[in-house]
Amino acid sequence: MKKKKEGMREVFFKELFKLAKKNKKIMLLSADIGAQCHDDFRKKLKNQYINAGVAEQNMIGVAAGLAMAGKIVYVYSITPFVTMRCYEQIRVDLCGMNLPVAIVSIGAGLDYSTLGFTHHGTEDLTLMKALPGMAVYSPCDNTMAKMLVNETYKGKTPQYVRLDRRGFPLIYEKEKDIDFQQGFSHLKKGKDLYIISTGRMLLNALDAAKRLPLDCGVIDLFRVKPFNKDNLELILKKVKYVASLEEHFTDGGIGSSVSGLLAGLKHRPLFKPIGLNNQFCRSYGSRKYLQNICGLDAESVAKNILNWISNNG
């Protein structure tokens, strides 16, 4: 039988487990999810693992108390539940007191494609970006998800990590190609257009770039906040067109950050935000199918960009 490829959560929690064995201050709190990827914690580090039950508000408050007492705390659940259900606790208890708790979510965008909109992560970046002091990470593959364990471990502020269930195929073969100080990667250089994307949508961005009859560059914005405006500006101001691509509502997501940057330029490129329109995805099926009907597959993205450029030549 073919072994199932590991996804981001498997590599993330495997790495966290290794660290937690060495540092007993690390604690992992789950809101009753994480069946297999938390097995090691559950069995071998019982004092460092808590199933906080289906009670996310309390989980964040407890995490705040633990962090105040010197613990290094990770909390985990499905994206909407660990961000929206307990948003005010995150705002007041974590951000209001600047506590280094890492919020790890699973299910970026339409990842839980058969579970319906209640399980879609389509507003989380907007919400997390809005909070003072919150660092926001959106990894695109397993290499980066694994590195984020060490990155969040070192973090001194509240942090949000948006995991996707899938982390293969890899976008980064080598860890040295990921620079967390920079916060983004210049994956492909371009002279006419840049697509700036995040998470697994990077695969679609790279694919769309190939389909376009233009010299199209691709940027991976994996550290959504703090947003490295200055260095991104140096790249984006050189081209005529910039598009953002995200599996997230366009309102408030990475497109908003990019548009804010571009608006401040004297000679600015034309900008096209691509993502989910501000409506819930009410369909079910495969992730690919949902991306397709939402216009986020590579072919639709390439067509969309080409149409836009033709109309704004």
Partner 1 sequence: MKKEKIKKKAKKPDLESLKSKALWLRKKVLDMAVNCGTGHIAPSFSCIEIVVALYYTSFLKTNPKKPEWKNRDRFILSKGHASLALYPVLADLGFFPFSYLDRFGKNNNYLGVHAENEIAGIDVSVGSLGHGLSIGAGLALAAKTDKKKYRTVVLAGDGECHEGSVWEAALFAASHKLNNLILIIDYNRLSAMGFLKDYQDIEPFEKKWESFGWDSIFVNGHSFESILPGLLEANSPGRKAPLAIIAKTIKGKGVPFMENKPIWHYRVPKGSKLAAARRELTKGDNR
Question: Least distance to partner 1 from the beta carbon of 189, Å?
Answer: 47
Choice from 20, 26, 28, 62 touching partner 1 (CB under 8 A): 62
Q: Please name which of 271, 221, 227 lies closest in space to residue 246, comparing C-alpha atoms.
A: 221
> Judged by CB under 8 A, which of 3, 43, 70, 267 binds partner 1?
70
Q: Which of 1, 69, 234, 263 binds partner 1 (CB under 8 A)?
A: 69
Q: Does position 157 bind partner 1 by CB under 8 A?
A: no
Residues 18-47 that bind partner 1 (CB under 8 A): 47
Span near partner 1 by CB under 8 A; candidates 35-43, 90-98, 230-238, 288-296:
90-98
- Of 94 and 201, which CB lies nearer to partner 1 in the complex structure? 94
CA dist 165 and 7 (Å) reads: 5
Report whether 90 contacts 56 (CB < 8 A).
no
- Closer Cβ to partner 1, 94 or 302, answer by number: 94
- 88 binds partner 1 per the rule CB under 8 A: yes
- Pick from 97, 115, 170, 293: which binds partner 1 (CB under 8 A)? 97
Nearest to 211 by CA among 301, 124, 291: 301
Residue closer to partner 1 by CB (options 66, 212) is 66
Radius of gyration of the chain (CA): 19
293 binds partner 1 (CB under 8 A): no
Please give the sequence-ordered ranges of beta strands (E in DSSP) within 52-183, or none if there are none: 72-78, 101-106, 135-137, 159-163
Structure tokens at 146: 């694994």
Tell me the window of 15-23, 54-62, 145-153, 284-292 that interacts with partner 1 (CB under 8 A): 54-62
Tell me the CA distances in angstroms from 34 to 29, 53, 109, 162, 186, one per residue in order: 10, 12, 18, 15, 33
Measured on CA atoms in the order 74, 78, 81, 84, is the torsion positive or negative?
A: positive
User: Which H helix or E strand runs over 242?
Assistant: strand 241-249
- Binding residue for partner 1, selected from 61, 133, 155, 295, defined by CB under 8 A: 61
Q: What are residue 8's DSSP bridge partners?
A: none
Q: Under the rule (CB under 8 A), what is the footprint of partner 1?
A: 47, 50, 52-53, 55, 57-58, 60-71, 88-89, 92-93, 96-97
